[in-house]
Structure 1
Amino acid sequence: MLVAAAVCPCPPLLVPDVAAGAAPELDAARAACSDALGLLAASRPDLLVVVGPADESGRGTFPQGAPGSFRGFGVDLDVHLGGEGPAPAAAERGLPPSLAVAAWLLERTDWSDAPVEGLGVGEPLAAERCVRAGQAIAGRAERVALLVMGDASACRTLKAPGYLDERAEAFDAEVARALGVADLAALKALDTELAYELKASGRAAWQVLAGAAEGAGLGGALLYDDAPYGVGYLVAAWS
């Protein structure tokens, strides 16, 4: 059963080495992520599953110790999921960027001894399949925790990656509300097509969370809500 969850954004800019001179602009987001992961660790799970968006090459499961890298962003920095490894089976393919950011966050958390696994989910994955995937994850152990990576819309300003879309602010506000109160029905009902048009990479991962949380009775708290680069970044903790 799911006992806790942390929701974090996944831009590589969260890593100060990647952000370079712009690093201070996301200090508040990093602090909120640290707080959320601290609450996650305090839940003392038997298993932590990290879920994040991925392209075709990064979809599927990743074992503890799977390697990730920020070399593609011009930084000589490597990470491993769960801070161990790499295990022989983990070295076959690298983590997608969202899970690499999660690995970086976990390396800076006083994590428990619970095993860690990763799951990269594709943007096209239908809501029903996301929910079923979450249900399956929740049944994996008596005490399961989720670290859910993903960004809200990328269309909040004229300089945003997706340019300005007047629908983005309302979409992000509803996601923030749903994550802040652990509204499973609202997360399951997110408009898949609208999320795609607004370049909201977190939609599928949030719906995996909604499936995993069924029957768990968790409450939510929104720890961060901003769009410093025209992209919605949200941090929430469920327990």
Structure 2
Amino acid sequence: MLVAAAVCPCPPLLVPEVAAGAAPELAAARAACADALGVLAAARPDRLVVVGPAARGGRGPHAEGTPGSFRGFGVDLAVRLGRPGADPAGRELPPSLAVGAWLLESAGWSAAPVTGLGVGEAFPADGCLDTGRLIAAQPGRTALLVMGDGSACRSLKAPGYLDERAEAFDAGAARALGTADVAAVAALDEKLAYELRASGRAPWQVLAGAAESAALDGTPLYEDAPYGVGYVVAAWS
């Protein structure tokens, strides 16, 4: 049973050591993420699943204790998913889950065991929904930390350049996530999301599948598009 969820963006720039001199620019987003994690802890879950976008090598489940790092971003900073351990497959966390692990470590998370799930950005909506249903069907009280960004096409300097459709897409996604509108999240256009480089679409739809019978309320905590990328933070409880 899903009892709570937090939706957070996943840029490595959330990590101050990675952002360096630009760290203050995402201070409000970090604070909102901390508030969302507080909602998860208050729900007293039996387990937490961190879901985020991943390239091929990082897809699938990640056991508690799986390590990750930000060395690929020029920073010798290591993180770990929950309590010490190792991924039986010998993999490291994909960047989105490494950011999630960093958020949890920063918050001093100890409320429940933590596992991870990397999903492909092009994973079909039906598959995402089914994955969420399977997560919610497992015994006990489950919470989700859902990592993912909106469109990367909000400005001329954005990673995907400017696309006039991006602002409306992000506004609709933020509204759906901020109000825990499960049907609206499930209905997000996967083709448009892919064209707009919105990495959060698949993880958000995993959340929608998990929340179908949960009757959770949403609280919007942050929405902005620094660097031309849509970021949203919300809590469901």
Aligned with residue 153 of structure 1, among 132, 151, 154 = 151
- 1:87-236 → structure 2 map (5 Å cutoff): 87-90=85-88, 92-236=90-234
- Corresponding residue number in structure 2 for 1:32: 32
Specify the code of the residue in structure 2 equivalent to 1:200. A
Q: Offset of 1:115 from its aligned partner?
A: 1.1
Mapped contact 1:66–1:81 kept (Cα < 8 A): yes
How many residues end up aligned between the 2 structures?
237
CA gap of 1:46–1:168, structure 2 versus 1, over 3 A, is same
Q: Offset of 1:89 from its aligned partner?
A: 3.9
- Aligned-partner SS, 1:125: coil
Segments of structure 1 that go 5 or more residues without pairing to the other structure are none
Q: Offset of 1:88 from its aligned partner?
A: 4.1
Mapped contact 1:44–1:112 kept (Cα < 8 A): no
- Aligned-partner SS, 1:13: helix
- Aligned-partner SS, 2:198: coil
**Hey, what's the Cα distance between the residues in 2 that align with 1:173 and 1:201?**
15
**Hey, what's the Cα distance between the residues in 1 that align with 2:96 and 2:32?**
17
Mapped contact 1:67–1:90 kept (Cα < 8 A): no
CA gap of 1:42–1:90, structure 2 versus 1, over 3 A, is farther
Q: Offset of 1:142 from its aligned partner?
A: 2.1
**Hey, what's the Cα distance between the residues in 2 that align with 1:210 and 1:80?**
26
**Hey, what's the Cα distance between the residues in 1 that align with 2:3 and 2:202?**
20
Mapped contact 1:47–1:141 kept (Cα < 8 A): no
CA deviation map 1:16-65 (0-9, x unaligned): 00000000000000000000001111111011000000000100000010
Once the two structures are aligned, what percentage of the paired residues are identical? 73
Q: Offset of 1:91 from its aligned partner?
A: 7.0
**Hey, what's the Cα distance between the residues in 2 that align with 1:103 and 1:144?**
17
CA gap of 1:152–1:89, structure 2 versus 1, over 3 A, is closer
Mapped contact 1:152–1:199 kept (Cα < 8 A): yes
**Hey, what's the Cα distance between the residues in 2 that align with 1:15 and 1:131?**
30
Mapped contact 2:9–2:147 kept (Cα < 8 A): yes
Q: Offset of 1:112 from its aligned partner?
A: 3.2
- Aligned-partner SS, 1:92: coil
**Hey, what's the Cα distance between the residues in 1 that align with 2:235 and 2:204?**
12
**Hey, what's the Cα distance between the residues in 2 that align with 1:51 and 1:213?**
14
Mapped contact 2:64–2:86 kept (Cα < 8 A): no
- Aligned-partner SS, 2:226: coil
Mapped contact 1:51–1:147 kept (Cα < 8 A): yes
CA gap of 1:229–1:88, structure 2 versus 1, over 3 A, is closer
> What TM-score, normalized to structure 2?
0.98
Over the aligned positions, Cα root-mean-square deviation in angstroms equals 1.0
Mapped contact 1:46–1:141 kept (Cα < 8 A): no
Segments of structure 2 that go 5 or more residues without pairing to the other structure are none
Specify the code of the residue in structure 2 equivalent to 1:231. V
- Corresponding residue number in structure 2 for 1:59: 59
